[in-house]
């Protein structure tokens, strides 16, 4: 079911909104994964505030899954991939070469972009529609199960019967990463065809958290030096 739109600018806003939601999902997911990986390099530093780092990772992962729940929302009147793709399928004329050329006429390199423009591939579009449909993609089904039974609201029956939504809908980190990557690939495919725009899914400063850990490392080194000096003054240093 296509989302009713009046013109190309409205389709462009839908496409941008879904793409940015995927970028946000990826930023949060990468933050969680990068902090987890940093345990190998900054184990002692992270142990100084374990609760903070654990909750930061958990909050970022939850934010990522919540964003994905909106992206893969199966109600096609909502601004998710299923609704967006159905809307594109219903409005292929907005992807015609002449429409594309008008949208980018003021862009740098417009002539090159227009010359390289590719037409909308109806078969690929149909494949993408199937890929984001819960009936055809088990991973989307797991995501929707988690969304409806854990993230959007808690399933009271699960709670009463001591069942875990995570056991019923086992969505692991690899699955989250795949859903993000697949979603970005799809959104970028139509962003490029529509107005030569694509999103990287990353943010400048994604590793800023390492600055904090490096400062903690410096503090720990200072603390150790002070202890060694104190012990040395008491004749209890390492050479005593």
237 backbone φψ class: left, alpha, beta (φ>0; ψ -120 to 50): beta
- pLDDT per position as a tens digit, 114-154: 999 899 999 999 999 999 999 999 999 999 999 988 888 88
User: Alpha-carbon distance 47 to 220, whole Å?
Assistant: 11
- pLDDT per position as a tens digit, 187-232: 999 999 999 999 988 888 888 999 999 999 999 999 888 888 887 7
Question: How is 99-147 classified by DSSP, letter by letter?
Answer: HHHHHTTTSTTHHHHHHT-----HHHHHHHHHHT-TTT-HHHHHHHHHI
Give CA 171 to chain center in angstroms. Answer: 14
Structural domain spans, the chain: 8-206, 208-240
């Amino acid at each position: 079911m296509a989302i009713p739109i009046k013109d190309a600018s409205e389709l462009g806003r839908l496409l941008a909104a879904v793409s940015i939601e995927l970028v946000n999902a990826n930023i949060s997911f990468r933050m969680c994964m990068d902090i987890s990986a940093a345990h190998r390099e900054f184990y002692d530093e992270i142990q100084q505030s374990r609760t903070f780092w654990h909750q930061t990772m958990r909050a970022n992962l939850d934010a990522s899954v919540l964003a994905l729940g909106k992206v893969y929302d199966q109600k096609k009147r909502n601004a998710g991939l299923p609704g967006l793709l159905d809307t594109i399928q219903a409005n292929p004329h907005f992807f015609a070469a002449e429409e594309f050329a008008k949208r980018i006429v003021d862009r740098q390199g417009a002539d090159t972009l227009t010359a390289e423009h590719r037409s909308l591939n109806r078969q690929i579009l149909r494949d993408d529609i199937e890929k984001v449909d819960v009936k055809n993609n088990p991973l989307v089904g797991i995501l929707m199960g988690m969304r409806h039974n854990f993230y959007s609201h808690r399933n009271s029956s699960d709670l009463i019967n001591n069942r875990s939504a995570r056991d019923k809908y086992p969505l692991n980190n690899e699955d989250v990463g795949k859903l993000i990557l697949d979603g970005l690939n799809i959104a970028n495919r139509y962003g490029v065809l529509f107005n030569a725009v694509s999103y990287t899914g990353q943010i400048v400063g994604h590793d800023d958290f390492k600055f904090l850990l490096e400062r903690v490392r410096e503090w720990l080194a200072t603390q150790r030096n002070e202890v060694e000096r104190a012990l040395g003054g008491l004749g209890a240093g390492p050479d005593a």
